[in-house]
Amino acid sequence: MMRVEGDDLDALRVFLPVRDDLPVFYERLPFYERGTLLNFGKVFVIAAGPGPFGTGGYKYLLNGAAQAILQANKTAGLVLTEETAPAYLKFFCRFVFWEEVRFEVVESVDGYAVAEGALPDDLRIAGGLDDSGEFLYRAMMLVDDWAYQVRLATSRPLGAVRMVDNVQLARLVRLQ
């Protein structure tokens, strides 16, 4: 993520009031025509508008509910292709959670050790567009201390993600 500074930060504060002492970061998302991910400390927002950093449009607070992302998808111009769908899948799973349980799609377990079970050699996301018009991917998902092999389907044009199936593979321990 890149830091927003100077006049850009002042303009952004007009769109979305932010404390002066709070650093603001942004990331252009490859699957949105006009959407930007903004990071205000531990708060994440999708800004979906025509201006710099997605200003001049709508703001969607990423609070763990899928609904905020699905609404942002309409306004920000979601574009799912073979190239952008894996990044969208990782993004969606990162920001949708249930209570304190987070779902993270990963392609590496660097920083972890396997405490129980085993992992496949290739952890990369694999798949693509299926015959029904959905993107279907095999991926590794971390949920709490466990790694799962999952199949996830992403619908077009809305970008809803559903789990097709999952297999628990290994318990992981975070390395210090």
> Which residue type is seen at 93?
C
Residue 53 confidence (pLDDT):
80
pLDDT at residue 16, rounded to an integer: 79
Give the β-pairing of 126-129 and 35-40.
unpaired
Give the Cα separation of 3 and 84 in Å (integer).
23
The pTM of the full predicted model, rounded to 2 decimals, is: 0.87
Please, what are the averages of pLDDT over each run of 10 residues along the chain (176 residues)? Answer: 84 78 90 92 89 84 92 94 94 87 90 94 92 93 93 91 95 91
Determine how β-strand 97-98 pairs with β-strand 101-106.
antiparallel
User: What DSSP string describes 73-126?
Assistant: HHHHTB---TTTHHHHHHHHHHHBEETTEEEEEES--TTEEEEEE---S--S-E
Residue 20 has a pLDDT of 79
The pLDDT value recorded for residue 99 is: 75
Beta bridge partners of 117: 170
pLDDT for the residue 70: 95
Backbone angles phi, psi at 86, to 5 degrees: -60, -40
Domain positions in the chain: 2-76, 85-174
